[in-house]
Amino acid sequence: MKKKSTKELILDQLKEKSSMKQDVFHKAIQYFELLKEVLAEVAAELKQEMASADHRIDIEYRSIGKYEAELKFAGDILFFHMHSNVFNFDKTHVMHKTSYVKADGLRAYCGMINVYNFLSDSIKYNRFNDSGYLVARLFVNKEEHFFVEGKQQLSVLYNDFMNSKLDKLTLKDIVHATVLHTINFDLLTPSYTQQQEITVHEVHQLTNDMKIKTGKRLGFKFESESDSY
């Protein structure tokens, strides 16, 4: 058999790998649009239910752009961001040990949707030093198989990449689980030593761009954690 030229090898890779990444990207776009529909529905349902219970609780959905959307509820905002690139995983990742991926290594390539949690006041008052936290990451491949990487139940419930396929009902379950986790993730008081000094400039900025960070917790990991929040 004649050895392929470098040009032929490049074309083979473009036809197989690059075309596959386009398939994954468009599949991710499709599901991000569906996610926006789900977020709008969840916001409307929760807002209607809360209207008679406590009118002070503000619940709103907003589409920011092609790759961004947010869900605001009470003192929190969940910011959903679809990454425009396609990702593979380290060879030690559990997905590479499944028969599903072993049969076709290209199935490991996924689109990624990140979910960040911010305090709504951080956005409202433009407190640019405040921190947001990664709550979950949703991965979906060209065949609509998916898994969620996240805190507590978020990763436990949605980690069967080999057998799980994404749909609207599952997206709604994921949104509900993310909202519930966020509500139960409380704002922690900053340490006394962190706030024992303040400048004159910061005093003047107390209601605007406070220089002391506010956030539910500093630092976030998904694996091998000792904390239990």
Angle CA 55–119–178, to nearest 5 = 80
pLDDT at 196 over 70: no
CA-nearest of 88, 91, 68 to 78 is: 68
Strand partners, 140: 111, 146
pLDDT class of 64 with cuts at 50, 70, 90? very high
Within the chain, what is the greatest distance between any pair of CA atoms?
78
pLDDT of residue 226 exceeding 70: no
Confidence of residue 144 (pLDDT cuts 50, 70, 90): very high
Q: Which amino acid is at 22?
A: Q
Lowest mean pLDDT among 10-14, 183-187, 195-199: 195-199
Note whether 117 and 184 are within 8 A (CB): no
Indicate the average pLDDT of the chain: 83
Strands 68-73 and 76-87: antiparallel
Nearest Cα residue to 113 out of 31, 195, 10, 198: 31
Task: Give me the residues paired with residue 141 across strands.
Answer: 110
Question: Is a pLDDT exceeding 80 seen at residue 146?
Answer: yes
Q: What is the pLDDT of residue 223?
A: 40
Across the range 63-81, mean pLDDT stands at: 94
Q: The tokens of 93 are what?
A: 């990742």
